[in-house]
Amino acid sequence: MTNATPLSPAQKTWQDHLILNDFYGELSSTPRRTPMRELISTVLSHRTTHADEELAYSRMLETFGDWEGVLAAPTSELAHAIRTTRWPDTQAPRIQDILRRIKAERGEFTLDFLADWPTERGLQWLTDMPGIGLKTASLVLLFNFQKPVLPVDTHVHRIAQRVGMIGPKVSAERAHKLLLEQLPQDARVLLNFHKHNYWHGQRVCLYTKPDCARCPLKAFCDYYIEHYGPATPEALAATPKRWDTAWGELPH
Ligand code: SF4
């Protein structure tokens, strides 16, 4: 690709997917956690580092044994167990509300029934729960049940705007639908698109100071062109083709 080729937003989205797949390597769609763990860990992860989220999760289950124990625990003790998260006093009652609803509706602590539900019904059911937004619901359905949905977190949203896959004023909520329409309804593609852009936002396209010199998206990125002009052949030639582990570990 050359910087002389104007791309439509949908073409940029597809190129982003192909290029970052090469840059970071394609991932399999094997679930990384059980559905219950994915759901509760995502609640714990809000504005919290992965290490602190993991610590909160393990302390919670070590202290109370299982989901039944977490539900029955005094809320203040649960908040203490998950104190490494950003807002333990908000998250503790929220987790108990979620567990209470799952138990009341399903008779046990499981989300496995979502595998057989149509995607829209699953999204609706999850987002009806307290504190569960479209991003968290999409993560659970994509990662655990290979449903064709696209979680858009702050990193995916920022890169989509900077590159020009979506307009500069499109909200993250709306971006879920717009980006999904530009990609194949294939869970593996969607999972890779989500994870790669999430990593890219954490390691290259940083919020305060994007590392454009290292970025393989510069040929068609609106932000790059606006700040530096069209990418020169020299800049493109100097851009790495793969993430180098010497630059640091990739996030979870
Ligand atoms: S070229 Fe710069 S602004 Fe554009 S996606 Fe890459 S790092 Fe972000």
Task: Say if ligand 1 is within 6 A of residue 143 CB.
Answer: no
Task: Give mean pLDDT, residues 204-218.
Answer: 97
**Is the C-beta atom of 57 inside 6 A of ligand 1?**
no
Out of 200, 221, 232, give the residue to mutate to test ligand 1, the one with the largest number of ligand atoms within 8 Å of its CB. Answer: 221
Q: Assess whether 52 and 135 both reside in one domain.
A: yes
Asked if residue 21 belongs to a domain, the reply is yes
CA-nearest of 38, 36, 58 to 252 is: 38
Residue 2 lies in a domain: no
Q: Are the CB atoms for 9 and 164 separated by under 8 Å? A: yes
* pLDDT tens by residue, 147-191: 999 999 999 999 999 999 999 999 999 999 999 999 999 999 999
pTM of the model: 0.92
For the cut 80, the answer to whether the pLDDT of residue 1 exceeds it is no
Do residues 140 and 44 share a domain? yes
pLDDT at res. 5: 67
Task: Answer yes or no: is the C-beta of 162 below 6 A from any ligand 1 atom.
Answer: yes
227-232, Cβ contacts within 8 angstroms, sequence gap of 24 or more? 230/3, 230/4, 231/3
Q: What per-residue confidence (pLDDT) applies to 4?
A: 57
Provide long-range contacts, Cβ within 8 A and 24+ apart, for 127-134: 129/97, 129/98, 129/101, 130/94, 130/97, 130/98, 131/43, 131/91, 131/94, 131/97, 131/98, 132/39, 132/43, 132/98, 134/173, 134/176
Vertex 44: Cα angle to 43 and 50 (nearest 5): 125
What is the average pLDDT score of the chain? 95
Domain of residue 164 covers: 9-28+151-243
Q: Is the pLDDT of residue 24 over 50?
A: yes
| Ligand 1 site, residue 163, Cβ cutoff 6 A | yes
Q: What pLDDT score was predicted for residue 236?
A: 97
pLDDT at 2: 47
**Domain identity same for 139 and 195:** no
Q: Are residues 118 and 40 in the same domain?
A: yes
Q: Are residues 125 and 213 in the same domain?
A: no
Q: Is 19 within the bounds of a domain?
A: yes
- Number of structural domains found in the chain: 2
Cβ of 73 less than 6 Å from ligand 1: no
> Looking at the structure, do residues 39 and 99 belong to the same domain, yes or no?
yes
Q: In this structure, are 126 and 177 located in the same domain?
A: no
pLDDT band per the 50, 70, 90 thresholds, residue 6: confident
